[in-house]
Structure 1
Amino acid sequence: MPLERTNLVDHARGTAGGTTAAPGSGGTGAASPAPAPVPVRLPDHIGADPPTLLTAHGCWYPSADPTGEHVAFICDRAGVPQLWSGPARGSEAHVLDGDPDPVTEVSWSPDGRWIAYTSAPGGGEHTRVLVVRPDGTGRQVLAGAEPGSSAHLGCWTRDATALAVTVAQPSVSGAEHTGAGHLPSDADGAPADGARGPGAAWSERDGTATLLGGGSAHRPAVSHDRAASVHVGAGPVPALGQVRGGGLAAYLIDPDGAHAPVLLYGEQGAASLRVCDTSPDGRFALVRRGPRGRREALVLDTGSGRTTFALHVADGDPWIGRFSADARTVWLRSDTDREFAALLRVRLDDQGAARSLTVAAERQEAALDLLSVPDHGRWALLAWNIHGATELESTGLPLTDADADGDVGPRHRPVLPHEVVTRIAPLERGGLFAALAGSRRRPGIWELDQGLVPARAGWSASDEDAVPPGRPPVRPVPLRCRARDGLMLGGWYYRAPGQDPGRPAPCVIHLHGGPEEQERPVFSPLYHELLGRGLDVFAPDVRGSSGWGRSFVDADLGAGRFAAIDDVADCAAHVVSLGYADPVRLGVMGRSYGGYLTMASLVWHPDLFRAGVAVCGMSDFATFFAGTEPWIAQSATAKYGHPEHDRDLLRALSPMSRIDQLRAPVLAVHGEHDTNVPPTESEQFIRAARGRGVPARQLTLRDEGHEFLRADNRRLYRRAAADWLERHLGSNALPGRQAT
């Protein structure tokens, strides 16, 4: 039988321990918390004109209904990522939300009545959470409709009566940010969340991370009491919307409107917050919180608001774990005390505290990328990162606490048609839907039956239709190279079609974002464009990238970022030494952190690169921290340093501090609605370059944020970048020749 509607709501309101004020009213003697989200009904799209469909397109982020007969997913067939739905074994799919706002996440409710999703109005960073019925009716915004707010998906409760949603509260001045990175000050001068400067801040990691000055990492004591956190049932609730720097709050929202939203958890000055699961009986919630590199999994008693258990968990995919069917075990994707993330089994007592912690599944030199467990908890789907490619595995799980001492298994590993799995959607009846991507196609969705035999969904583009016709994609080759300090780096090299194998070619070093992202062998329309212009591409993982262990991720912290900048030069030198790249026709390009690294490489190694394209990059850490979103600033301190306490280091790491060294022509590209890295970061770099007589241009993409999601803008961006690099690196750009 399904749980009663009042089950989890009653627990969250405090029936298990004490009483609290109703959400939104505040407690006695405390300021009122920020208002709960107010759902807003939207027009349905039934009968709307069908979109114009693109032949070359991708489908990703599948979520199946309880029967497994229908799938909701994201598709860009209409030129922008939108919410679609289709039958599991049919060929016709239809749009559920025809608005031009890009969709980023999808979740079908356990009872099949609603589909929840996250969209980005105007392509910006302030997202909102919506629900729609499977037939396209009942569309409404559950959270994020208020000016200045932002929201993203959490989990559905197991009885489907509520959806957990995280809301980013506006900062104190509304749309305007305040303070140095909007970070709260404290009495002893230490920044928030434990970031206390180069020595202490970056040593607060467990495992064997390589730290500045050869220091060793240690594991901090886990604290279950957080003065900066608030929970329903934990006493008076601070005014999250009024604290300096805003905050994040997780609500349980009933899409049917029968119950008012319930505040489950809130945190002042938070860097991240997501409700990943609730126990079937509603007593406990699994929450992920914390800045990059110091994520935590919390088990919350929803009645008392008490944190009963906390553990470091891995970065990457935010869905870090699930409760067992009897709520006596929580399964976690964690890299605590280890280099690579593994599947951990935490046995819980009646109060939600840990009785034991064991490793249930692990791989040598490989990280657990994705973890997915169906509601029944009989088995789990594990996606392992094997040097950038994916190995998918299904494994049995113990059903009850009495079985918890047994090993997981047996294990089944299907043969996949493409290299990388980006999302897993398990089916209660067995089998799954998986979003696959590879070097020779855009993302697509496959169904794997109970025998784990993959079959492409009929509405997902075939391999030949997933890429532009006329020129097949290039399959890259893996490369390893050693940095000047001995650290081994990895990456993928793409050779332009028709290149003379014995002759060095113009080459673009492309740098991914993050910095914790990883270069993976998936089809890139940008690389396809560059290769078609006769430009090779080397896409390396410099220090700070994921996929190579926690020590590698942490190797760029603090002053280690200077070594990351040198890694770019060492990667360029390596492909030159192999005879692949022409030393006088090297370019550098990257997006987000890769855009920062591009600008930094151009000013730290001014004679190495002949051109650069910096996309959504930070040019000055002081202005970045002052202009970015509060929760992004909180998280960024763990990677780069605190804008007040590490001011000198951040100034030294800022490309603007060495702008007088810039020699190479540079193109900057930015989305006009980017509030992650504001467009002023590109503007000031380009303005300074022009002031010094260096050729420089900026391309601002309309209706885009930090990610470029619209087909027309992505095409404009690719062609502008390729034009710029071909102009300065092509055969006519050799010394002594006139560039075209």
Structure 2
Amino acid sequence: MPAHRGVDPPTLLAAHGCWYPSADPTGEHVAFICDRAGVPQLWSGPARGTEVHVLDGDPDPVTEVSWSPDGRWIAYTSAPGGGEHTRVLVVRPDGTGRQVLAGAEPGSSAHLGCWTRDGTALAVTVAHPSPVRSEHAGPGHLPSKAEGASPTGGRTRGATSPERDGPALGPARRGGLAAYLIDPDAATAPILLFSEEGAASLRVCDVSADGRFALVRRGPRGGREALVLDIAAGRTSFDLHVADGDPWIGRFSADARTLWLRSDAEREFATLLRVRLDEEGRSRGLFVAAEREGSALDLLSVPDHGRWAVLAWNAHGATELETVGLTPDRTDDAIGPRHHPVLPHEVVTRIAPVERGGLFAALSGSRRRPGIWELDEALVPSRTSWSARDEDAVPPGRPPVRPVPLRCEARDGLVLGGWYYRAPEQDPGRPAPCVIHLHGGPEEQERPVFNPLYHELLGRGLDVFAPDVRGSSGWGRSFVDADLGAGRFAAIDDVADCAAHVVSLGYADPLRLGVMGRSYGGYLTMASLVWHPDLFRAGVAVCGMSDFATFFAGTEPWIAQSAAAKYGHPEHDRELLRSLSPMSRIDQLRAPVLAVHGEHDTNVPPTESEQFVRAARDRSVPARQLTLRNEGHEFLRADNRRLYRRAAADWLERHLRPAP
């Protein structure tokens, strides 16, 4: 039954976002994610028309989209209940034939990989449910890399025809990650490509045109690797460190003798590497094909024909886009002609090239909601008619605020960056109440993109400073690694140093400072409130970790594996993690705190907020928790996002706006 039949017509929002485009083989139609009906859903329609429609009207948020190269299927990832356990589905472009390929089993989670070049199979990564934990393993047991990385060629046993719950997948280890090739038509059984117990991440980024090799990205944050897998032989023939960030790290050339990679191996910033491969998929030399001083390659996209590529460079938060000709058969390390289109927005978040030429790009800017733009063969951008207009970004009469970049120096001399938003009609010569907002990650980066939360705060007369403390991306690999281990104490001090800097500039009132953040930023918020208890007058901690011991015991196993590489091992580094936990200094808390959490968050469980709020109340510190229904670690529903923004702004306005 078509996914869009029997669904009540949604109430469409004028101020909406469109992102994650994927074009059909002709480039005439686009599938994309849009929250026009209040929740991110799968939409599709003509690139140059207005008659777009919902392909899946279920209330589960959609997170990724990929149109098959043969045009017959659209694959996508959805998050049931808004939680962290996702599943992979496919649907026909007309809305028929919808089916779950992976992730339907209770406790499992599935993620999109690439399509094969002919569109007959889709790569899918599945996190299989963990077996019952043995008593001797303990809550902090994390298998090492050696405990079961297993490339596996051949077909799985027990495959069935695809039904609502998808084909049977096996025989991968329970409690690990496994990558499969799945035929949506069920003409062939699923193929198990690679499995790993205790893995932090696993994604199939490309399959060579002849079907011999797969490009796999694996490993924890800060330790990602690209592997070339010989599918038939079941062995890896090449591996190399690759950059964090966007998981789509490379592609094979049409003849599979060249591999294009986005990598920061042995360098500060990610570049475009060309890897020459022999007939067995082994490396015969690495060359830097494109690089920019002080800028990282954020996104790399190569069409199937492999004649050109689209590169998105991160220049201190803003995107510089270019297309380059690829010449894999040349004997030197040069690439072909370069073109640099002028963009109407500051940041590119997704690139979808069209085989015949041109591309679609998801763009976001500080004063515009996310939208999809088409760049024709001459690379002239035009907004798709179904993306929100610039004038719909904020309520009438309230023009969006464009932030200004700020640089400041931490107490140990490290230079930090960030963006300062001045509230409209603020007296330029008078210090204002200011909120220090901390992003997640910690490897994320503060970028000049439209943030409704900031505009809610600005509308209440609160300035916002959004810094990149050490550990953030965009400033080089050394900066990302500067918070490892005991370096996290310095990251906590960075928050205080950023606050002191905006006070010294005369922007912020030292008696009306607030701090807030989400995920790792929520952790930093709690940490800042107990390490610098007299600095901030209020805090809002969103989905933050309050105690590393309880976090590691309660999070997903693949998240724990990745987190251990960043924060410390729950067994080997127990004392360090205890000393870094905000709960270890809860007696120092003075400022009122609001904690916000999604009820289905299994990344950072809601108990992390609950125990912090409970401990604050036990010490007579004003504290409140807001739990959002049908949300996980990311807040994806428009009504919940609105509730969160208003609750956070109410809390901060109450404690910061009145003159001291």
User: How many Å separate the matches in 2 of 1:397 and 1:426?
Assistant: 14
- 1:83-94 alignment runs, 5 A limit: 83-94=42-53
* Maintained 8 Å contact 2:20/2:64: yes
- 1:269-668 alignment runs, 5 A limit: 269-398=198-327, 400=328, 402-405=329-332, 407-668=334-595
Q: 2:149 aligns with which of 209, 224, 229?
A: 229
How many residues are aligned here?
Answer: 649
Counterpart for residue 79 of structure 2: 120
- Residue 183 of structure 1, CA deviation: 1.2
- Residue 258 of structure 1, CA deviation: 1.2
Secondary structure at 1:527's aligned position in 2?
Answer: helix
User: How many Å separate the matches in 1 of 2:136 and 2:347?
Assistant: 39
* Maintained 8 Å contact 1:240/1:268: no
* Maintained 8 Å contact 1:544/1:552: yes
Q: 1:620 to 1:177 in 2, by over 3 A?
A: farther
User: How many Å separate the matches in 2 of 1:106 and 1:74?
Assistant: 7
* Maintained 8 Å contact 1:182/1:630: no
Counterpart for residue 165 of structure 2: none
* Maintained 8 Å contact 2:220/2:565: yes
Where do 5+ consecutive residues of structure 1 fail to align? 1-41, 185-191, 194-225, 735-740
Deviation string for 1:145-186 (max 9, x for gaps)? 111100000000011110000000111129x997334513xx
Secondary structure at 2:369's aligned position in 1?
Answer: strand
Deviation string for 1:231-275 (max 9, x for gaps)? 2249999997655xx100001100011112111110010000000
- Residue 88 of structure 1, CA deviation: 1.0
- 1:178-189 alignment runs, 5 A limit: 179-184=138-143
Q: 1:690 aligns with which of 594, 611, 617?
A: 617
Asked if residue 718 in structure 1 is aligned to residue 638 in structure 2, the reply is no
Secondary structure at 1:338's aligned position in 2?
Answer: coil
Asked if residue 670 in structure 1 is aligned to residue 590 in structure 2, the reply is no
- Residue 141 of structure 1, CA deviation: 0.6
- Residue 92 of structure 1, CA deviation: 2.1
User: How many Å separate the matches in 2 of 1:555 and 1:80?
Assistant: 37
* Maintained 8 Å contact 1:506/1:586: yes
Deviation string for 1:623-666 (max 9, x for gaps)? 00000000000000111000000000000000000000000000
* Maintained 8 Å contact 2:70/2:119: yes
Q: Percent identity?
A: 85
Secondary structure at 1:307's aligned position in 2?
Answer: strand
Asked if residue 66 in structure 1 is aligned to residue 25 in structure 2, the reply is yes
- Residue 46 of structure 1, CA deviation: 2.9
* Maintained 8 Å contact 1:60/1:73: yes
Secondary structure at 1:450's aligned position in 2?
Answer: coil
Secondary structure at 2:81's aligned position in 1?
Answer: helix
User: How many Å separate the matches in 2 of 1:169 and 1:458?
Assistant: 41
Counterpart for residue 217 of structure 1: none
- Residue 520 of structure 1, CA deviation: 0.2
Matched to 1:352, the amino acid is G
* Maintained 8 Å contact 1:442/1:467: no
Tell me the TM-score normalised to structure 1 length.
0.86
Counterpart for residue 38 of structure 1: none
Deviation string for 1:412-464 (max 9, x for gaps)? 00010010000000000110000000000110000001111000011111111
User: How many Å separate the matches in 2 of 1:177 and 1:428?
Assistant: 54
Secondary structure at 1:118's aligned position in 2?
Answer: strand
Matched to 1:411, the amino acid is R
- Residue 67 of structure 1, CA deviation: 0.1
* Maintained 8 Å contact 1:181/1:627: no
RMSD of the alignment, in Å?
Answer: 1.8
Asked if residue 679 in structure 1 is aligned to residue 606 in structure 2, the reply is yes
User: How many Å separate the matches in 2 of 1:707 and 1:82?
Assistant: 15
Counterpart for residue 130 of structure 2: 171
Secondary structure at 1:403's aligned position in 2?
Answer: coil
Counterpart for residue 21 of structure 1: none
Tell me the TM-score normalised to structure 2 length.
0.96
Q: Which deviates more, 454-463 or 360-369?
A: 454-463
* Maintained 8 Å contact 1:506/1:730: yes
* Maintained 8 Å contact 2:416/2:468: yes
Secondary structure at 1:538's aligned position in 2?
Answer: strand
Matched to 2:468, the amino acid is D
User: How many Å separate the matches in 1 of 2:236 and 2:255?
Assistant: 19
Q: 1:107 to 1:480 in 2, by over 3 A?
A: same
User: How many Å separate the matches in 2 of 1:679 and 1:87?
Assistant: 42
Secondary structure at 1:731's aligned position in 2?
Answer: coil
Deviation string for 1:668-710 (max 9, x for gaps)? 0000000000000000000000000000000000000000000
- 1:41-52 alignment runs, 5 A limit: 44-46=3-5, 48-52=7-11
User: How many Å separate the matches in 1 of 2:309 and 2:386?
Assistant: 27
